Amino acid sequence: MQSLEAQAFRMTLFDSNAGPQGRRIRRRLDPDLIAPDPAGARRRGWDHSRPGRLFAALHGTLTDLLALLVPVECVCCEAEDTVLCGDCAKHVRQLCKQPFRAEGESPALVDVDGTAKLGVVAAGPYRDELARCLLSFKRFGQWRVAAVLAQCLGKAAEAAIGGQPGYCLVPVPTSGRAYRRRGFSPVHLVLRCIRLRRILPYCPSLDVLEKRGDPTASGVILAVFWRLPARLAEAVLDTGAPKQAAGQKGLGRGERASRVRGSMRVRRRWTKRLSGRRCILVDDVLTTGATLAEAARAITAAGGVVCGAVVLAATRPPAYASTAAGYDPP
């Protein structure tokens, strides 16, 4: 006499309308009959509408064609055909599950008596999958990870403002040189994803800050043509000096503070409209806090009220990551 499991297998082997229990039995006895989708499709049931099935077929075809023309790998585990696989995205969300206060270990944000000049909420610690995502996002132009980072930043901003209306998010600007190298601003792109996904509909983002001394478009074109002969000579003769990084990575506390001091200002057309508005600064990575301190100085000088800051990651998590973030009214 056959077992109940064998009978269920025989009944569900060729039955396309088998229930969930039958499908589980069929997958367990012969996993090749129902191979799991490596992309992890969101829709698990059969779409009964013809336009929906057509759209799903076109989406799958375009995805396969894109993977063939432009092969990609996961920025964390190097899995094929995806920029950020489902497991690594889950690990990033787990790292950002509990936002925490991060200003305690930033020298530029702490006064001489030990009190914090500016409260900062970090979405997660700068390590593991979150650090790899941010590095690939900023250095290698993997802008498609912005969707996952937007969820993490939105949760941190929600913890910072406590769901209270009346605040605005102010992104910290990137330098013109870094923007030309990357082709985009990481913080602005993440905030755009937040706006499109309506993660914080009651908290608008205002691009009011700019870097001092950034050349205009005509100045950039003139500088490129002016430096073209020298760059060609350096490339041919290999006589160029060792290039230094444009960012602040590797700089000490004093060097960071001196580099960013007086480097930001509020755009002229926003000076009057910013007066009296409560602002939350937004940056990508918190190290010494010199950049946030300079941004807060520029906002305060224009009449705005800086109520805090939000960052995607903090580089010094162990000493203070146990302090959960909460709403701290100004």
What value does the mean pLDDT of the chain take? 76
pLDDT at 196 over 80: yes
Secondary structure (3-state) at 72: coil
DSSP 208-252: -EEETT---HHHHHHHHHHHHHHHHHHHHH--PPPPPPSS-TT--
Within a 10 A sphere around the Cβ of 197, how many other Cβ atoms? 13
Instruction: Give the pLDDT mean for 256-278.
Output: 81
Report the pLDDT value the prediction gives residue 41, as an integer from 0 to 100.
Answer: 47
Report the pLDDT value the prediction gives residue 227, as an integer from 0 to 100.
Answer: 54
How would residue 245 be classed by pLDDT, with cut points 50, 70 and 90? very low
Helix (H) and strand (E) counts in the chain: 11, 7
pLDDT tens sequence across 287-323: 889 999 999 999 999 999 999 999 999 987 545 454 4
pLDDT tens sequence across 219-228: 444 444 555 5
pTM exceeding 0.95: no
Who's near 56: CB < 8 A, 6+ residues apart?
43, 47
Integer CA distances (angstroms), 97 to 170, 200, 230, 283, 311, in order: 23, 17, 50, 19, 14
How would residue 28 be classed by pLDDT, with cut points 50, 70 and 90? low
Most confident of 173-182, 198-207, 240-249: 198-207
Report the pLDDT value the prediction gives residue 136, as an integer from 0 to 100.
Answer: 92
Helix (H) or strand (E) holding 27, with range, is helix 20-29
Residue 86 amino acid letter: G
Distance CA(313)–CA(264), nearest Å, equals: 22
Domains and CATH numbers, the chain: 4-54 (no CATH), 97-217+250-314 (3.40.50)
Distance CA(271)–CA(294), nearest Å, equals: 17
Range scoring the smallest mean pLDDT among 56-60, 117-121, 231-235:
231-235
pLDDT at 20 over 70: no
Q: Please return the burial class of 16, using the count of CB atoms within 10 Å of its CB with bins 0-12, 13-18 and 19+.
A: exposed
Lookup result for tokens 């913890």: 159
pLDDT tens sequence across 66-99: 777 878 889 999 888 788 998 999 999 999 999 9
Residue 325 amino acid letter: A
How would residue 199 be classed by pLDDT, with cut points 50, 70 and 90? very high
Instruction: Give the pLDDT mean for 160-182.
Output: 88
Range scoring the smallest mean pLDDT among 110-124, 196-210, 244-258:
244-258
Integer CA distances (angstroms), 77 to 93, 94, 126, 186, 222, in order: 16, 16, 17, 22, 43
Instruction: Give the pLDDT mean for 152-180.
Output: 90
The better pLDDT of the pair 129, 213 is held by 129
| Structure token pair of residue 51 | 């336009």
Distance CA(212)–CA(176), nearest Å, equals: 10
pLDDT at 281 over 90: yes
Who's near 118: CB < 8 A, 6+ residues apart?
103, 109, 281, 289, 292, 293, 296, 306, 308, 309
pLDDT at 195 over 80: yes
